[in-house]
């Protein structure tokens, strides 16, 4: 299913998404934002984006793009442990010299408690941890929260290691224009009529058909203030009879139902790429 010329990922080179992309054969093409990854996908290419972090929760830009782009489906998920470092421009000699710290907003929050003892005040969120490393390489007295790999790639000095507040895992997804029906889990997104019990009735179908939910989350619809879409993941795939039955049943009681496909968890292999 993979076009060797089209593995789009949240870049630039050195992001955690890039490390995950390296498990696939083929040409990797970095994009500046998650939205640009979604917009780049053609019939034969794939995209790799973060969807959820174990400390910071869902990545909203990914969810909103999955909801918006009807023709894009989820094919695989990959979990990767995230090890953050604080890396500085060569002009920095001590922690006191740091004037600004760049990173992805998730990564800033993943290390917030650990860094709170140093009294840094100027955290600036950017599109990814590797964009942060790139900025830090160009600006005197700046720093980035990024991976050790990105720090080395952009010639930064690592000044603090192991700065995650706790065990830190991010779930990434592989997206494409192909709906897959095989896998361990399935994702749907839906809206319900604005009346009492509407969400309850949808969830009841999963209970009645003995399907285990693994994630539920809501996000603003944006087009209508104070109304929401729901993002749901559950065990089982579209070929399972009980999943088929449930999806048929909820089609009748949701206002809008988008089936984003079934997907398998791939085991992440730390490749030679990092050595």
Applying CB under 6 A, the residues found at the interface with ligand PRE are 10, 15-17, 50, 53, 59, 82, 104, 106-107, 110, 128-130, 170
Rounded distance between C-alpha atoms, residue 238 and residue 182, angstroms: 7
Q: Closer CB to ligand PRE, residue 38 or residue 206?
A: 38
State in angstroms the smallest separation of the CB of 17 from ligand PRE: 4
State in angstroms the smallest separation of the CB of 132 from ligand PRE: 8
Q: Closer CB to ligand PRE, residue 106 or residue 260?
A: 106
State in angstroms the smallest separation of the CB of 177 from ligand PRE: 22
Q: Closer CB to ligand PRE, residue 160 or residue 259?
A: 160
Which residues are CB-contacts of 87 (< 8 A; sequence separation ≥ 6)? 133, 136, 143, 144, 145, 146, 150, 151, 154, 156, 157, 158, 159
Rounded distance between C-alpha atoms, residue 8 and residue 29, angstroms: 5
Cβ density class 16-48: b for 16+ within 10 Å, e for less: bbbbbbbbbeeebbbbebbbebbeebeeebbbb
State in angstroms the smallest separation of the CB of 254 from ligand PRE: 29
State in angstroms the smallest separation of the CB of 151 from ligand PRE: 12
State in angstroms the smallest separation of the CB of 267 from ligand PRE: 18
State in angstroms the smallest separation of the CB of 10 from ligand PRE: 5
Q: Closer CB to ligand PRE, residue 78 or residue 88?
A: 78
Q: Closer CB to ligand PRE, residue 110 or residue 233?
A: 110
Q: Closer CB to ligand PRE, residue 88 or residue 107?
A: 107
Burial class (CB in 10 A: 0-12, 13-18, 19+), 181: middle
Q: Closer CB to ligand PRE, residue 47 or residue 50?
A: 50
Burial class (CB in 10 A: 0-12, 13-18, 19+), 14: buried
């Amino acid at each position: 299913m993979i076009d060797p010329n089209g593995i789009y990922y949240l870049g630039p080179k050195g992001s955690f998404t890039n490390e995950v992309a390296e498990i696939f054969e083929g040409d990797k093409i970095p994009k500046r934002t998650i939205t640009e990854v979604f917009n780049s996908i053609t019939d034969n290419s794939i995209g790799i984006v973060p969807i959820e972090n174990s400390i910071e929760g869902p990545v909203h830009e990914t969810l909103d793009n999955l909801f918006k782009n009807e023709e894009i489906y989820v094919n695989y998920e990959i979990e990767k442990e995230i090890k953050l470092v604080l890396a500085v421009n060569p002009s920095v000699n001590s922690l006191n010299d740091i004037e600004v710290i760049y990173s992805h907003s998730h990564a800033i929050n993943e290390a917030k408690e650990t860094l709170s003892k140093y009294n840094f005040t100027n955290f600036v969120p950017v599109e990814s941890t590797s964009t942060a490393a790139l900025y830090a390489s160009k600006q005197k007295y700046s720093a980035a929260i990024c991976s050790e790999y990105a720090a080395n790639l952009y010639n930064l000095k690592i000044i603090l290691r192991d700065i995650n507040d706790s065990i830190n895992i991010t779930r990434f997804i592989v997206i494409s224009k192909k709906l897959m029906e095989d896998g361990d889990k399935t994702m749907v997104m839906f809206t319900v009529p604005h009346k009492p019990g509407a969400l309850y009735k949808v969830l009841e179908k999963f209970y009645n058909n003995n399907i285990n939910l693994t994630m539920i989350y809501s996000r603003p619809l944006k087009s209508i203030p104070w109304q929401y879409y729901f993002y749901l993941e559950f065990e089982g795939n579209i070929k399972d009879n009980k999943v088929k039955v449930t999806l048929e049943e909820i089609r009748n009681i949701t206002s809008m139902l988008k089936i984003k496909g079934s997907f398998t968890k791939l085991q992440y292999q730390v490749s030679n790429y990092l050595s």
